[in-house]
Amino acid sequence: MHIQLITDGGSDLPPHLTEAYNAKIVPLNIHFGDQQYVSGVDLDIQTFYKKMKEEDELPRSSAPSPYAFYEAFKEIDPEKPILMLALSKLLSTTHDNAIMGKEMLLEEEPDRTIVVLNTKTATSGMSLLIDEAGRCVKNGMEFEPLVAHMEERIEQTTTLFILRTVENLIKGGRLDRFKGAIAKTLNIKLLMKATDEGAIDVAEKVRGNKKAMRRFVEQIGETTSNFENKVISLSYSTTEEKAKKLLQEMKDRYAFKDSLLMEMGPLCATYAGEGGYVMSFFVD
């Protein structure tokens, strides 16, 4: 490929896309108390869930350092332009650290071409964008048109979340304990959405799991159309078989041209808990 695509661990990029587009991933750091791990390197997702159940406090994630990005960029052929698609800057310092890593390398090698974009999304949304960029590069798109196209696509990306439990939001201090207790008692499920700026807001509160899942799927048709030209991207937390059935239901109802399925990494799984889902697609 004549352009190098790079992303970070917040993308949960499935292996087949990594291989298809020769994409490079700069992993996130995961902290359990005083112990630090590099996600996907010395901590796999199964061990992550096991440790999360055993620990009283939720794990923390931290962005790769600027030096980690500097090293990742430096490894690429200097003649090859680099497009870095970074986790939403409102969720992490990853984007800013990638910018610093880029500037460090440009001080040494000023002729390098590196662009870092804030995707304003995470997990399935980032994988959707990498897939789009990879398709464009394979079709021969040059660097400047690719950057402009991806900037437009970022603004067209919708990312929707469903949480099966509020337990981890309460545990992590993201939801008031009193409100969380009410939500648990009344079996309230949260439907959430990435904002235009890249933060996460509650979109709906739905009582009962079946109704919540129905609304999760219905939101697709309420948000976009022309499915035959679009890809649906879904990430899941621990429930692979259920995720496959959910994805098939979405494809049966809406005639997407293609689909992506991936397991949620530690960043989103920490708050989604087991049984959470995140889907992403482009709006018209």
Handedness of CA 227, 228, 231, 235 (dihedral sign): positive
Domains, in order of start, for the chain: 4-28+63-155 (3.40.50.10440), 157-282 (3.30.1180.10)
Q: What angle, 0 to 180 degrees and rounded to 10, lies between the N-to-C axes of helices 209-223 and 240-253?
A: 40
pLDDT, the chain, mean: 87
28-32, 50-54, 68-72: least confident range:
50-54
Is the pLDDT at 193 greater than 90? The verdict is no
The dihedrals phi and psi of 100, each to the nearest 5 degrees, come to -65, -40
Handedness of CA 103, 105, 110, 115 (dihedral sign): negative
Q: Which residue, 259, 255, 251, is CA-closest to 280? A: 259
Please state the pTM of the whole predicted model: 0.90
Between the two ends of the chain, the Cα-to-Cα distance in Å is: 29
**pLDDT reported for residue 167:** 56
The continuous run of DSSP H or E covering 275 comes out as none
The overall longest dimension of the chain from CA atoms, in Å, is 60
3-state secondary structure of 267: helix
The pLDDT confidence band at residue 192, using thresholds 50, 70 and 90, is confident
Interval 215-256: pLDDT, tens: 999 999 999 999 999 999 999 988 899 999 999 999 999 999
Beta bridge partners of 114: 82
Is residue 9 within 8 Å of residue 43, measured between CB atoms? no
**pLDDT reported for residue 91:** 85
